[in-house]
Amino acid sequence: MSIEIRLENITKTFKAKNETIYALKNINLNIPAGKTISILGPSGCGKTTLLKVIAGLEKPDEGKIFFNSEDVSELSPYERRIGMVFQNYALYPHYKARGNLAFPFWIKKVPEKEIDEKIRETAKILGVGFEYLLDKKPKELSGGEQQRVAIGRCIIRNPSVMLFDEPLSNLDAKLRVITRAQLKKLLVTFNVTSVYVTHDQTEAISIGDLIGIMNNGEIIQVGTYEEIVNNPKNSFVASFFGKPSMNLLEVKVINSQIMWRDKTIPLDKKIEDGEYLLGFHGKDVEINPNGEIKGEIYFIDGTPADISKVLHVQLEDNSSIKIEIKSGEIYRCGEKIAFSLPKKIYLFKKNSGERIL
């Protein structure tokens, strides 16, 4: 049976040179049983610390961790039955893949027949081609194959929870895509609650049932891709997440009207005067020659194989925005275009980032 993970008010600090670093600030997080959450955030925001706290490798200063209704805060990683997969595969180099899987059972003097049976079951879960890897030593395996063995080594111990820290980042682009698909299939089949830390948005979106956006030791927002992109909690999430992320322009609000350069956009809601960020998605922009905003395309992101491409456009005030187009539409760098602001707009306070529209 899969396990629900619940973090309650988790704070973790580190002391460094008379300074206290808040790696995790009052984190509250629910990971539903059998689901995978991808954790995305800038470097140093606390992703690895979060994994280590769930694993029991770091003890939080405050807060509790529950696996279902059991408080596991004081339990060791072993007692929590954690499976962890890191960026570097950390396989025993002298043993074949089979030996790497069997090792923990050898220590416990489990009969060979029983170990063989466990390896057979694990190979079945890991799917096509895994048996073939079993009689090879790590140095005879590609990075992706070594990572499959590392995952197999976790699974064979029937973990209650799996934690991944950038597991694919050492693989080349093609292998990453293949291994990503295998891993997702495995997580669905194995139905184990998992936390997946990555810098890569595509990976986060394709692996995670849910995505958690972290910044500065806090989990800012948790949701599906669509929920977060269509409903970002603040301007950090809007600017950080999405492919492409939201466009944000600096504007003023005066008398409940948005003022951007010489343009005025009336608001149908009373909003305090001040400095704001006006947000809109590139997919909502329609290019048309009569549009009141003009700019020049300076970069086109995407390949002919992509369904859509992103035009990077420099506006007359030197700010830059992204417009999503269908791949078949032909534009070129240096081309001047015009567009109107889409109807669907967002407004964030400039200083706090809080979303108010």
Of 2, 8, 21, 259, the one binding ligand ATP by CB under 6 A: 21
| CA pair distance 5, 69, nearest whole angstrom | 9
User: Counting contacts by CB under 6 A, is residue 208 touching ligand ATP?
Assistant: no
Tell me the CB-side half-sphere exposure of residue 209, using CA atoms within 13 A: 15
User: Counting contacts by CB under 6 A, is residue 49 touching ligand ATP?
Assistant: yes
Q: Which residues pair with 157 in a beta bridge?
A: none
User: Counting contacts by CB under 6 A, is residue 57 touching ligand ATP?
Assistant: no
Name the minimum Å distance from CB 203 to ligand ATP: 13
Of 17, 18, 19, 43, the one binding ligand ATP by CB under 6 A: 43
Part of the chain binding ligand ATP (CB under 6 A), chosen from 42-50, 66-74, 253-261, 312-320: 42-50
Of 36, 38, 48, 193, the one binding ligand ATP by CB under 6 A: 48
Name the minimum Å distance from CB 7 to ligand ATP: 14
| CA pair distance 279, 145, nearest whole angstrom | 43
Nearer to ligand ATP, 10 or 313 (CB): 10
User: Counting contacts by CB under 6 A, is residue 198 touching ligand ATP?
Assistant: no
Percentages helix, strand, coil for the chain (3-state, rounded to 5) are 30, 35, 35
Q: CB–CB of 34/17 below 8 Å?
A: no
User: Counting contacts by CB under 6 A, is residue 16 touching ligand ATP?
Assistant: yes
Q: Which residue has the tokens 């180099």?
A: 93
Nearer to ligand ATP, 19 or 262 (CB): 19
Part of the chain binding ligand ATP (CB under 6 A), chosen from 41-49, 253-261, 318-326, 338-346: 41-49
State how beta strands 82-85 and 161-165 pair: parallel
Name the minimum Å distance from CB 354 to ligand ATP: 23
User: Counting contacts by CB under 6 A, is residue 14 touching ligand ATP?
Assistant: yes
Sheet harboring 308-315: ordered strands across? 286-287, 336-340, 293-301, 308-315, 320-326
Specify the 3-state DSSP secondary structure of 349.
strand
Structure tokens at 313: 């456009």
Part of the chain binding ligand ATP (CB under 6 A), chosen from 46-54, 152-160, 233-241, 279-287: 46-54
Part of the chain binding ligand ATP (CB under 6 A), chosen from 38-46, 112-120, 178-186, 231-239: 38-46
| CA pair distance 164, 316, nearest whole angstrom | 45
Specify the 3-state DSSP secondary structure of 197.
strand
